[in-house]
């Protein structure tokens, strides 16, 4: 009886394997016929060109954004801020030193403008 169960399981596994092989074989044939089709190849080439153009555009835009961010950081670094103003902003608005300093620099070191901007 154990042998019958083993044979049944093996038969089922063989049938499933044949079914998968048949399906995989059909898929393989379909893909080969599509690849051989000149219209498909033309569309594929066009899509690859469009993807290449899109990637170039995205890369260029990312480079621009990084450059703009770096230039902005350099400009902000030129703005002088006092330690007293940083401490006051930190204490009154409960923000970190980095956040207080950044806010002051973004507002050209003006304490009043910085406080108004952070409160709003």
70 pLDDT exceeds 80? yes
Tens digits of per-residue pLDDT, 20-56?
566 777 777 777 777 777 777 777 777 888 888 889 9
Question: Over the range 51-83, which residues count as b (16 or more CB within 10 Å of their CB) and which as e?
Answer: eeeeeeeeeeeeeeeeeeeeeeeeeeeeeebee
Taking residues 74-90, report their average pLDDT: 95
Residue 36 has a pLDDT of 74
Model confidence at 5: pLDDT above 60 = no
Q: pLDDT exceeding 70 applies to what percent of the chain?
A: 81
- pTM greater than the 0.75 cutoff: no
């Amino acid at each position: 009886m154990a042998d019958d169960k083993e044979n049944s399981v093996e038969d089922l596994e063989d049938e499933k394997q044949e079914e998968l092989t048949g399906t995989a074989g059909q898929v393989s044939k379909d893909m080969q016929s599509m690849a051989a089709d000149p219209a498909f190849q033309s569309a594929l080439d066009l899509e690859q060109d469009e993807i290449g153009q899109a990637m170039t555009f995205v890369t260029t835009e990312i480079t621009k954004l990084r450059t703009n961010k770096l230039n902005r950081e350099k400009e902000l670094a030129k703005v002088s801020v006092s330690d007293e103003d940083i401490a006051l902003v930190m204490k009154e608005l409960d923000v970190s030193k980095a956040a207080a300093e950044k806010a002051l620099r973004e507002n050209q070191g003006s304490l009043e403008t910085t406080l108004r901007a952070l409160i709003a």
